[in-house]
């Protein structure tokens, strides 16, 4: 099971999720990483769920057009939209203020 490590407001939250999990969908049903993951639309339109990938990003697919549109150059700094990701491998993310 993928292990998720989320850095948020100086704290570290760790949990395991099922294979092929969307973290925003999980938070929406109040399971880890709820309540620590910020999100709004769940549709790639607001960038509230923006995270910087610290490790494990090599397993993710290339950013989709919504991520490219919302994140622009931030993609080169390792940012992704959590609502657009289905996680199947361990990943470490930061939603700390940048
Ligand atoms: S929650 Fe709005 S872009 Fe991900």
Complete DSSP assignment for 34-79? TTTS--S-SSSSS-TTEEEEEE-GGGSPPP-HHHHHHHGGGGGGTE
- The reply to whether ligand 1 has any atom less than 6 angstroms from the CB of 69 is no
Spatial CB neighbours of 38, under 8 Å, sequence gap ≥ 6? 8, 48, 49, 95
Stated pTM of the model: 0.96
For residue 17, give the CATH number of its domain: 3.10.20.30
pLDDT, tens digit (0-9, with 9 covering 90-100), for 1-33: 999 999 999 999 999 999 999 999 999 999 999
Q: Which atom of ligand 1 is nearest to the CA of 44?
A: 3
Give the separation between CA 7 and CA 5, rounded to whole angstroms. Answer: 7
Give the chain's domain count: 1
Predicted confidence band of residue 72 (pLDDT cuts 50, 70, 90): very high
Nearest ligand 1 atom to the CA of 24 is 1
Ligand 1 centre to CA of 24 (Å) is: 8
| In the block, residue with structure tokens 């700390």 | 96
Predicted pLDDT at 96: 84
Q: Note the pLDDT of residue 74.
A: 97
47 lines ligand 1 (CB under 6 A): yes
What average pLDDT is seen over the chain?
97
| CA distances for 81 relative to 58, 77, angstroms | 15, 13
Verify whether ligand 1 is closer than 6 Å to residue 42 (CB atom): yes
Cα–Cα distance measured from residue 89 to residue 40, given in angstroms and rounded to the nearest whole number: 24
CA of 1 to the centre of ligand 1 (A): 24
Provide the domain limits for residue 34. 3-94
């Amino acid at each position: 099971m993928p292990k998720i490590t989320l850095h948020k407001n100086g704290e570290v939250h760790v949990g395991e999720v099922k294979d092929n999990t969307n973290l925003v969908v999980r938070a929406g049903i109040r399971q880890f990483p709820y309540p620590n993951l910020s999100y709004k639309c769940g549709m790639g339109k607001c960038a509230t769920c923006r995270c910087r990938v610290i490790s494990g990003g090599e397993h993710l697919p290339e950013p989709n057009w919504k991520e490219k549109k919302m994140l622009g150059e931030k993609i080169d700094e390792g940012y992704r939209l959590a609502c657009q990701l289905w996680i199947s491998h361990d990943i470490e993310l930061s939603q700390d203020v940048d």
